[in-house]
A and B are shown apart, each in its own frame.
Chain A
Amino acid sequence: MNDAGTDGRGMLRLEDVHKRFGGLEVLRGVDLSVDRASVTCVLGPSGSGKSTLLRCINMLEPPDEGRIVIEGRTITEARGDDLDYVRQRIGIVFQNFNLFPHKSALGNVSIAQQKVLGRSREEARERAEQLLRRVGLGDKLGEYPERLSGGQQQRVAIARALAMDPHVMLFDEVTSALDPELVKEVLDVMRELAREGMTMIVVTHEIGFAREVADDVVFMDQGVVIEEGPPSKVLESPQEERTKQFLGLVLEH
């Protein structure tokens, strides 16, 4: 195992992560290593544990067993303030956006900067404006979420996560709740982020996006990693029967 955090190899590592909900074991020993500035796409049928995996990584659902190490820090042992600190370093974007409905786009992106990072109001606004422009919403700064389309809301959510200057970004099926014509604008933002060198873990059903952007593709089923490797390998010539089956089903339509 290399020394994490020095050369960016394995800046995020999962070791034998288990998660149960009652009697149901959703993650049954997941190992994963993510390099700095890489894009990892996680594919798999629904119920395979992909979303739970992301929620474990930022401790929204603390794992029952195993370790998660980010930049040399074992976050599965973090508590309280330490945990809040770790969460700042890991941005997550949700399938249902989860924007704050009582705040404008600008408010959504600046509130945590002020309250968590202690930035001044002006500083936070400036950064929020800059990020909203970057995701193409420079003309929507004062709009409230209910007046934005799904694609626009999701881009605000991405800007909100970026405002905390995360070292890793997690995307949990961020285009699944969107109308088809709105998917591209969100994927474009993610492509741009990847190009700029953000470390990303993307749970997605967009095989095309994975093929084009991913450095690594992870195929999961029933709570374990079935197959892992570069997209050319996993997507074009999968070795495992279950991967072949899944890709067959997804690519058929």
Chain B
Amino acid sequence: MDFILDYYFDFGVMGDEFDPILTGFWLTLKLSIVGGITSLTWGLILAVLRQLPGRALAPFRWLAIAYIDVFRGIPFLLILFLVSGSLAAFQSEGVIPRELGIPTWFGEGSPFWYGVISLTITYGAYMAEVYRAGIEAVPGGQTEAARSLGMSHGQAMRYVIVPQAVRKVIPPLLNDFIALMKDTSIVSVLGVIEVVQAGRDVASERFNGSGLVLGAILFLIVTIPLARLVDYLIAREQRRTQRGGKPAPAPAATGMADPGTGGNA
């Protein structure tokens, strides 16, 4: 029994290895935040492309739909290998410049950026669907009101529809962000020493899992408050719609399938 406790909760090991684990977690955070911002942006672009009106713009709609279907259905790990392998190969063949093929922007190595690109590709597709639910939950009368004031489709989207849609889907977007944050550990296969890899290194050196447990604790310090924030925002939205006004159909806020299951890859 003592052995089990010591294996997971050896505070001596945690103390000794705190620095490398924290350094790893810092990288995890950087990957999550940079990848989160690019995914949120790319997802919104995809969602807006998907809503373009008229026959002339239909090809953009189809492309956006095809993109979302494809990249929601492929494991993140596979995308990661495809991105890192192909970009490196393209630059060595001279198809793309070296700075693009082996990106080392802002002092981060290329595995970091391959990770960011792959997260964006995959989570952009998930988040596009969340945004879409939000856009479709904005009552049709809003578009009509905007158009009747002479706004173009683009202006109506930008000033009327998207601001309301984003507000509605902040909780499910945060859920996706938690999943994305957990998936950053997969980038370790490219040699990035993020928190999970740092914990593994400790475990293999000292035959002790406490470094991994410390990593888990650091994760929970971020993810549990985020989860509570999601609950709070959903509850607030429900109070607001119950208090009065027209009850807007809640976009897939809680029932959202957790895309983070890809974390088992």
Give residues in A with beta carbon < 8 Å to B: 58, 60, 81, 84-85, 87-88, 90-92, 94, 96, 98-102, 111-112, 115-117, 145-146, 157, 160-161, 164
Contact = CB atoms under 8 A, between A and B. Distances in A.
A96 B248 CA distance: 14
Nearest to B243: A146
B149 interface: yes
Nearest to A91: B148
B56 to A, nearest CB: 10
B147 A100 contact: no
Contacts of A91: 148
Interface stretch (B63-71, B82-90, B138-146, B201-209): B138-146
Contacts of B163: 102
A87 B147 contact: yes
Contacts of B152: 81, 84
Interface in B136-175: 139, 141-142, 144-152, 155, 159-160, 163-164, 167
Nearest to A114: B159
Contacts of B145: 94, 98-100, 157
Contacts of A146: 240, 243-245
A60 B142 CA distance: 12
Interface in B105-163: 139, 141-142, 144-152, 155, 159-160, 163
Interface of B: 139, 141-142, 144-152, 155, 159-160, 163-164, 167, 240, 243-246
Contacts of A99: 145
Contact of A84 (B141, B151, B159, B167): B151
A87 B141 CA distance: 16
Nearest to B164: A102
B159 A92 contact: no
B148 A87 contact: yes
A117 B151 CA distance: 10
A55 to B, nearest CB: 8
Given A100-B142, A101-B245, A102-B167, A111 B148 contact: no
B149 A88 contact: yes
A87 B155 CA distance: 14
B148 A101 contact: no
B141 A96 contact: yes
B155 to A, nearest CB: 5
Contact of A94 (B144, B240, B244): B144
A164 B144 contact: no
B159 A115 contact: yes
Given A101-B164, A102-B163, A60 B151 contact: no
A99 B164 CA distance: 12
Closest CB pairs A-B (n = 6): A88-B150, A112-B149, A98-B145, A98-B141, A116-B150, A87-B150
A58 to B, nearest CB: 6
Contacts of A96: 141, 246
A139 B163 CA distance: 26
Contacts of A90: 148
19 contacts: A60-B144, A60-B148, A81-B152, A84-B152, A88-B150, A92-B148, A94-B144, A98-B141, A98-B145, A99-B145, A100-B160, A111-B160, A112-B146, A116-B149, A116-B150, A116-B151, A146-B240, A146-B243, A160-B149
A116 B152 CA distance: 8
A161 B149 contact: yes
A85 B148 CA distance: 10
A92 B244 CA distance: 25
